[in-house]
Amino acid sequence: MIIGTRGSRLAMAQTDLFLSALRARFPETQAEVRVVATTGDRARDRPLKALGGLGAFVKELDERMLAREIDCAVNSLKDMPVDPTPGTEVACVLPRGPPEDVLVADAPLEELRQGAVIGSASVRRKALLLNARPDLDVRPLRGNITTRLAKMRSEGFDGVVLARGGLERLGIGRRRFVLDPDSFVPAVGQGAIAIVCRSGLPEQGRLMELDDARTRGEVEAERYLLRALGGGCSTPIGIHARTVDGDMLIRAVVLSPDGERRFDLREGCGLASLERDLERTAARLRQGSEGML
C-alpha cells in the first residue's frame, strides 16, 4: 500500500499514528510513504481563499490517488472540503485528538497588552479573537506550526493561535493557554485525522476497520452542518459536536469577519433521530446567521 502525505512535521507525525494503528491491526501490511507537495504548502504567502479554499491542502493528494500513484492519503480532517473528490472516499477517521485552539503567548488572552499583535491566517480565529478583544491587531500568519512559532518571535508577534492537537502530536512544549471551546468554538473536524482512499481500493476493507465510530459520527455531523451553511475557509464558522449519554451536543458559532456580529447555538440531537435533529439544527443556524454568510 502506498500512502500519500504532506511533508510537514505534523503531517508525518499523523502518518506515523496511522501506520501504527494499521500495523497493530494488520501486522503483515507492507506500506510505503510518499510525500506530496500541495498548493497550500507551496504558496504560504497567499491566503487560502486565493488558493481555492480548503482543497489547497488535499487537491494534489486526490489527484495522485486517482492517477494510482498512491492508494490512500493521510489528511487533517479540518483541511478537507465537505464534499470529497469524486472517485475518493473517507475510508476511516482515527480517534480524535484534542479539538481546542490554544494561544501561544506569555499571558492568557484577557491579560495581553492593549493592541497586542496576534498571528492567525484563519478567518474563524480572527473573528473570534476580535469578538473577545476588539483592540487586538490580528495579522495573517501562514506556514506549518514550527514556521509560525519561529515567525512569532522574529516578527514581533505577542502570540499566535494554533490547534492544540497539532502541538501535542509534535511534542512542542511552548507556553500556551487553552481557549475555552464553549466560546472559542473549534473548526469543523479539528483534531481528527482522516484516511482517504481511492474508491474500490482492495485494501479499503482493512482501512474501514480502523474507523472510530464515535469520532466519525461527530465529525460527520459537523461537516453536515457546515455543508448546510455553505461555509468554507472564507467564512467565520465554528462547529463542535460531542457525544454524551446517548445524545450529540452541538455547539456552533457564526460571526461576521470583523467579529462584531455573532450568532451562537447550543443544541442537543438524539442519536436515534440524528438526521431529523441535524436538519432542524441546520435550519436554526441558517436563520440565526442570516446576513453573515
Is 133 a catalytic site residue? no
**All cell numbers assigned to 135:** 483592540
- 131 Ramachandran zone, left/alpha/beta (phi>0; psi -120 to 50): alpha
The one catalytic residue in 6, 64, 96, 125 is 125
| Cβ atoms of 196 and 61 closer than 8 Å | yes
Q: How would DSSP label each residue in 19-63? A: HHHHHHH-TT---EEEE---HHHH-TTS-GGGGTGGGGGTHHHHH
Q: Pick the catalytic residue: 92, 197, 233, 269?
A: 233
Cα–Cα dist 228/127, whole Å: 21
Of 6, 59, 78, 126, which one is the catalytic site residue? 78
- Length of the chain, in residues: 293
> Is 78 a known active-site residue?
yes
Query: Which is the catalytic residue, given 142, 164, 176, 198?
Result: 142
Q: Give the N- to C-terminal CA distance of the chain in Å, as an integer.
A: 41
What span, in angstroms and rounded, lies between the C-alpha atoms of 55 and 82?
10
**Which residues, 6 or more positions from 157, have their beta carbon under 8 angstroms from its beta carbon?**
117, 118, 119, 139, 141, 151
Active site residue 25: no
CA distance 252 to 64: 34
Catalytic-role residue among 148, 164, 169, 176: 148
Note if 113 is an active site residue: no
The active-site residue, picked from 62, 71, 79, 158, is: 79
Distance of alpha carbon 270 from alpha carbon 175, whole angstroms: 39
Specify whether 124 is catalytic: yes
Residue numbers annotated as active site: 78-79, 124-125, 142, 148, 233
